[in-house]
Amino acid sequence: MKYSASEIAGFVNGKIEGDPSVEVSGLAKIEEAKEGTMTFLANPAYTQFIYSTEASIILVREDFSPEKPISATLIRVKDPYGALAGLLEIYQGKTHERKGVSELASISKSAKYGENTYVGEFVSVGENVHIGENVKVYPNTSIGNNVSIGDGTVIYSGVRIYQSTSVGSGCTIHSNAVLGADGFGFAPQTDNNYKKVAQIGNVIIEDNVEIGAGTTIDRATLGSTVIKRGVKLDNLIQIGHNVVIGENTVMAAQCGVAGSTKIGRNCMIGGQVGISGHLTIGNDVKIAAQTGVSSNVRDGKIMMGSPAIEASHYKKAFIYFKNFEKLVARIDELEKEIKRIKTD
């Protein structure tokens, strides 16, 4: 699939500087691009490569001023990285364009789906399921009874959506994610065994949420586990029962959030963060990778370490930690000196 510079400029509302008829069939990093590919320059640290790249088309900022001649056709835009993101979305839509329901899918007679929906091979759709328009459900996905899926959502292969889960519009759920499995609820018994507590709630995924591959979101014991609109969850994340994650919060891979914790809106949570149960994390909080959070966090705080403390305090403490061996040696010397003085 080829696109000309004039077509690309139309997609991104850009201004062409060079040959508008030049065509590209792929994308590449600026330092690796070859003829027939398009690249972009958003980070000034890579400016040196714009003079040596073999790319045919380059997205640059409106105010970019070259210091040397450039052989490629330039497309000037306000935000090259944002423009690239838009182009990638268009490209993905073209390459993944699928419609129709496979004869190898198993769909309950009471299930309903809207126009332009794609349901792939070996998909299982349960009773009273409602699937909106322009939804794509890729092969080997299982959708339980009473599930609802909003318009324009994409569900990749191998996803498991348990009964009564609600998925909003414009969501993306990547392969092997599990939505609505049992929450981890067990009551200790006097004989040192554990009795399973029935998990009868559900999971609610609001609009424009992205859920990474292998991520699991447990249904509530009672009520709902809620992932609010605009949330982005990376791969291999565990969200416990009755958790609420606020609007537009992002969470990197391998995080774990224990049951009944409430996370605010617009938070940024690094990889491998662990958050204990029944906590409240405020709005606009930032949590560094591998932090262990065991107490509530107020709005706007930046947290590091395990147990988590404010980042500014952690950095000061870490200076002493790095010099711990020297500090111990100095203390030993002082103790010897004090002992010598007492002896004298």
pLDDT given at position 95: 64
Sign of CA dihedral 66, 67, 69, 70: negative
pLDDT digits (tens, 9 = 90+) for 250-303: 999 999 999 999 999 999 999 999 999 999 999 999 999 999 999 999 999 999
Do residue 69 and residue 189 come from a single domain?
no
For the question of residue 96 being annotated catalytic, the response is no
CB atoms within 10 A of CB 115: 10
Question: Of 38, 72, 95, which residue sits at a domain end?
Answer: 95
Is residue 303 within 8 A of residue 281, CB to CB? The reply is: no
Rounded to whole angstroms, the Cα distance separating 261 from 277 reads 5
Do residue 111 and residue 256 come from a single domain?
yes
Do residue 222 and residue 329 come from a single domain?
no
Do residue 194 and residue 337 come from a single domain?
no
The CATH number covering residue 129 comes to: 2.160.10.10
pLDDT given at position 209: 98
Do residue 78 and residue 139 come from a single domain?
no
Do residue 180 and residue 300 come from a single domain?
yes
Query: Residue 320 — pLDDT band, cuts 50, 70, 90?
Result: confident
Do residue 56 and residue 143 come from a single domain?
no
Do residue 124 and residue 86 come from a single domain?
no
pLDDT given at position 124: 98
Rounded to whole angstroms, the Cα distance separating 282 from 26 reads 43
Residues 6+ apart with CB under 8 A from 176: 157, 158, 159, 160, 213, 214
Helix and strand numbers (H, E) in the chain are 4, 40
Is residue 197 within 8 A of residue 159, CB to CB? The reply is: no
Is residue 119 within 8 A of residue 126, CB to CB? The reply is: no
Whether the pLDDT of residue 40 is over 80: the answer is yes
- Reported for 136-143, long-range contacts at CB under 8 A and 24+ positions apart, including other chains, are 136/96, 136/98, 138/175, 139/102
The CATH number covering residue 76 comes to: 3.40.1390.10
- Closest-CA residue to 239 (of 303, 224, 38): 224
Catalytic residue among 96, 130, 174, 241: 241
- Give residue 76's Cα distance to chain centre: 29
Whether the pLDDT of residue 96 is over 70: the answer is no
Do residue 37 and residue 109 come from a single domain?
no
CB atoms within 10 A of CB 213: 17
Do residue 116 and residue 227 come from a single domain?
yes
Domain residue limits at 33:
3-95
Mean pLDDT of 34-47: 95
Could you tell me the pTM of the whole model?
0.81
Mean pLDDT of 164-174: 98
Mean pLDDT of 208-215: 98
pLDDT digits (tens, 9 = 90+) for 53-83: 999 999 999 999 999 999 999 999 999 999 9
Do residue 234 and residue 326 come from a single domain?
no
Mean pLDDT of 190-209: 95
Whether the pLDDT of residue 340 is over 90: the answer is no
Do residue 256 and residue 323 come from a single domain?
no
Structural domain tally of the chain? 3
